[in-house]
Amino acid sequence: MSELKEPILLALSHKPSANLLEDRLCRKGATVVRAPDGEQALQHIRDTSFGVVVAETGLPGRTGLELLQSVPPLQPPFVLMGRRGNDEDVIRAFDMNAFDYFTRPFAPNIVTTRILRVPRLLSTATERPVPALA
Amino acid sequence: MRPNLSSPFEVFSPASDLIATLILGSGALMLLSVCFAAFALGSHVWSRYQTRVWKRQKEDWDAQIVTVLAGDLRPQTLTDTVPKKYYGSFLEALMPYATVVDGAEKQIIQALAAPFLPRVKANLSSRRSLVRARAVQRLGLLGGPEQAAALRQMLDDSSPRVVERTVHSLARVGGAADAERLLDCLPRLAHVDPRHLSSSLVHLGEAAAPTMRAAMADDERPPFVRICCAETLRELRDTASVAAAAWLLEDAKFRDMLQFPKVTASLLRLLKHLGKGVHGPLIRAYCHAPASFVRLHAARALGQLGTPEDEVLLGALVYGDESRWVALGAARSLIEIGSITPLRKLRTLDHPRAALASDLLLSFDQ
């Protein structure tokens, strides 16, 4: 079972992708909120604290990259979904502090694992004590 | 004195007949209108009912497909419940999932579609090109390599729409051995965006790269085919094609640059993504090409492969190139090579491109 305390926002307009990921994440114990467009996603981000936001780069209303740009780095962390072969989007996403990026088609189990490790890694990073200087 | 009436109808004069006819005619027309209105209303209600039923059916299938993909339900258990006459609708519901999943899940999608594919295959010989095109698309998305033989025959179809769908489908289910066959068909599809075709040709895999390289370098091939090959090799990240592209650009500097500017632009895009710093001098030469989109791609390539010494060249394009797109591309490349000074200076000047520099620096400063 996942130790996720905060819900995951799926900002995906592509319904089959959202259906699959929602199913896999719920099976791992996560709470999922869905937003089919950028405006609704932004509203959710303003209203709720999310453990991860999974956003499509081609999201209508506001693209995944625009959503990412509108929040402070890693608050919440973003995992972006784009189309294969779009290198420039990948570079832009990481330049804008996206946590991860995957493309369609994808293996649902692997992507689910990558999404769920984000809050785990972040909490490990914040909990780790700062090493004492010699 | 009472009139002598032999029949009660004699009371009607010719004028009364006319009025009666009009009344009867209006009544008939009104009845007809009511019938039409009732028919329209009935059709509307029926159509809404059908839409609701179909939506519910699709949601039900969606949920079951997700369950099958999760491994909680056998594919056959779901396919057994699909009524034969609705196989087309079931395949339509299945197709979006075929574009989403990869690996083991892809095989589950194929297992779900398998019982219905013989019916789809029968549609390949339909007289209607739309039906053939849809059948080709379904076979490509939902079928496996065993569908390749049937698809190969469709490459000779009389309809360009069917041929286009076949190229996409065969690239998915076929293999590198089909590369030459597919390239031969491309001249018929010159109306299609080459990048759209290359996004499918990339499914042929790395084994198709040598054929693509040879076609890209072949002067006898139509420029459209060479562009498709260059775009596919870029998407395949075929580093071996960089040497071929550089050789062509060296050789083509004076001969081809004017003849095939779109091929040149594609080769520059290839270099931008896969080239190295050593290709800088070659790319710089194309910053002065006559075609604006060649200059644009050369300027953008310098953003990846250029050095701070390119500040002067890119700055000149930002300030003085006749095309705003070239200026914008050069400005982006200046930012990428870390030379912001020319843009900061331009922002403060009374220059037509000052706003462009200001906009770009705004997003950079953020």
Query: What pLDDT is recorded for position A1?
Result: 46
Chain B residue with minimum CA distance to A104: B100
Cβ atoms of A78 and A62 within 8 Å: the answer is: no
Q: Which residues contact B113 (CB under 8 A, 6 or more apart)?
A: B91, B94, B98, B138, B142, B143
Q: Give the pLDDT confidence of B67-101 residue by residue, as tens digits.
A: 999 989 999 999 999 888 888 899 999 999 999 99
Complete domains list, chain A, with CATH: 8-122 (3.40.50.2300)
- For A82, list phi and psi in degrees, rounded to 5: -130, -175
**Tokens standing for residue B23:** 């009344």
Length of chain B in terms of residues written: 366
pLDDT of residue A83: 82
In Å, the largest CA–CA distance within chain B is 124
- pLDDT tens, position by position, A73-84: 878 999 999 987
Contacts of B105 in chain A (CB under 8 A): 107-108
Amino acid at site B331: A
Tell which of A23, A66, A110 to mutate to test the B interface (max B CBs under 10 Å).
Answer: A23
- Nearest-CA neighbor of B162 among B185, B181, B145? B185
Identity of the residue in B96, B103, B273 whose CB atom sits nearest the CB atom of A107: B103
Instruction: Please report the residues numbered 60 through 99 in chain A whose beta carbons come closer than 8 angstroms to any beta carbon of chain B.
Output: 69, 84-85, 87
End-to-end CA, chain A: 40
Best residue in B65, B101, B112 for a mutation probing chain A (most A CBs within 10 Å): B101
The per-residue pLDDT for B74 is 93
- Pick from B114, B134, B63: which is nearest to B55 by CA? B63
CA distances from B119 to B84, B124, B127, B257 (A): 10, 9, 15, 50
DSSP H or E segment with residue B196: helix B194-201
Residue with tokens 């070659």: B282
Contact list, B235 vs chain A (CB under 8 Å): 84-85
Q: Which of B296, B288, B287 is nearest to B269 (CA)?
A: B296
Contact residues, B window 337-366, toward A, CB-based 8 Å cutoff: 366
- Residue B260 phi/psi, 5-degree rounding, is -125, 65
Task: Tell me the nearest-neighbour CA distance from A84 into chain B, angstroms.
Answer: 8
Q: What is the distance between the alpha carbons of residues B332 and B355, in angstroms, rounded to a whole number?
A: 14
Task: Tell me the percentage of chain A whose pLDDT exceeds 70.
Answer: 90
Mean pLDDT for chain A overall = 87
Residue B101 and residue A108: Cβ atoms within 8 Å?
yes
How close is the nearest chain B Cα to the Cα of A59, in Å? 16
Residue B305 structure tokens: 């492969």
CB contact under 8 A, B100 and A23: no
Predicted confidence (pLDDT) at residue A130 exceeds the cutoff of 70:
no
Using a CB–CB cutoff of 8 Å, tell me whether A3 touches chain B: no
Which residue(s) pair with A10 in the sheet? A34, A54
Mean pLDDT of A118-129: 78
Q: Are A108 and B105 inside 8 Å of each other by CB?
A: yes
* Nearest chain B residue (CA) to A105: B100
- Contact partners, residue B112, CB within 8 Å, separation at least 6: B65, B68, B75, B78, B79, B94
Pick the residue from chain A with its C-alpha nearest to B103. Answer: A107
Distance CA B320, CA B315 (A): 8
> Which of B62, B101, B104 faces A105 most closely, judged by CB atoms?
B101
Cβ proximity of B320 and B344 under 8 Å: no
What is the chain A residue with the closest CA to B96? Answer: A16
Give the model's pLDDT for residue A122: 85
What secondary structure does DSSP assign to B5-30, as a single string? Answer: -SSGGGG--HHHHHHHHHHHHHHHHH
- Start-end of H helices in B306-353: 311-320, 324-336, 341-348
Q: How many CB pairs below 8 Å do chains A and B form together? A: 49
How far apart are alpha carbons B71 and B78 in whole angstroms?
12
Backbone angles phi, psi at A32, to 5 degrees: -120, 135
The residues pairing with A80 across neighbouring beta strands, listed in sequence order, are A55, A101
* Chain A residues with beta carbon closer than 8 angstroms to that of B69: 20, 23, 108
Q: Which residue of B has its CA nearest to A85?
A: B235
Q: In a mutagenesis test of the A interface, which of B64, B67, B91, B102 is the best target, namely the one with the most A β-carbons within 10 Å? A: B102
Q: Does B8 touch chain A (CB under 8 A)?
A: no
Helix (H, G, I), strand (E, B) or coil at B209: helix
Give the C-alpha separation, A117 to B213, whole Å: 41
Q: Does A102 contact B at CB distance below 8 Å?
A: no
Put simply, whether B104 touches A (Cβ < 8 Å) is yes
Q: Which residues pair with B25 in a beta bridge?
A: none
User: Residue A104 is nearest to which of B69, B99, B366, comparing CB atoms?
Assistant: B99
SS3 at position A52: strand
Low-confidence ranges of chain B (pLDDT < 50): 1
CA gap B235, B229 in Å, rounded: 10
